[in-house]
Structure 1
């Protein structure tokens, strides 16, 4: 029993040391981060949102309402319980051994061509800001969107300029297509931290269509998948 306790203590110490080496914008907390808005079903009547917290947030909530010219929309907001999924970042060797919680909610039965506001949190004191988006028209209408090729490398240093300039050029784009290879190593959390930091609030406001590329298919063991013969 003594040996088991000693080994467990060493493992915990190493995990703690690994976490201490992380930048503050990599470490999850009770507050929602890495919020991303995506499509789910009909873009005129639904959206999905996903976000991250630390493992202490076991129950999460999203609220949504039709936008108004003032803050009174809060009085008419609707709450939706999130699906919460724990994940151990330490399953991939380059990450710190850290349990995080991912939360997701689907907003449905929305009105077409309508501006909505939503926020995510623990249902109590830990909330994101209110974030706006517009649903698509029910009928055919001209649509503007942004298309990104591989972000992949030096995402925070250089791709941040690209996504921010794209937003300045097309601030009313209905959605954003990320056409694969969003990062270089699929399971390396530091790279995902860069990707979310580079885009900032845009990931939560402009509906994303993330397309998986070959760099999103690396096995957890870190070895490349064998090539398939044609």
Structure 2
């Protein structure tokens, strides 16, 4: 049976570009519960290998006993995905974040690849739900594999895929977010909301964080 690490708090989760060495170092003193070190959207194609080296070195140095570290890889179907996964497994990070999960089979493919790489039994998978197909399949995704611990709403990409306008109330996203939350709760998984993009407005950030907590995300 898969051994899970103790469930950690996920009140504050930072997304960090894997190519930003300064941000990776500063993370050591930031009082967040968890961080996602990103090798996918935040890194240009020509910088993928460099970012992978930076992220893996940072993760292997560790961020202390109280900070959860997850590495977002590129899709396995991409030219970088398998190398990302292999290096992420070597770091012993708490989790691998899989982007654009559309189906249970897609998630199981990642889990099988982790097993083949002898990933630690308690290394989890966080699945990003950020396409209409992923939302429609979220129930089967949530039930797909014991390594899955967290569903992450990829709200930026999902908004683009839905061709909707993002508003503070996020009315267009409510049905999708509700489906993600329901699937997570039904299968005792953690649900995380997407990133808050307005970094300059502290009041707006506080209001958004309060609303998301109230909504269960």
TM-score relative to the length of structure 1: 0.26
Structure number with higher relative contact order (C-alpha < 8 Å, ≥ 6 residues apart)? 1
Structure (1 or 2) with the larger CA radius of gyration: 1
Q: Determine which structure has the larger helix proportion and give its number.
A: 2
TM-score relative to the length of structure 2: 0.27
Q: Determine which structure has the larger strand proportion and give its number.
A: 1
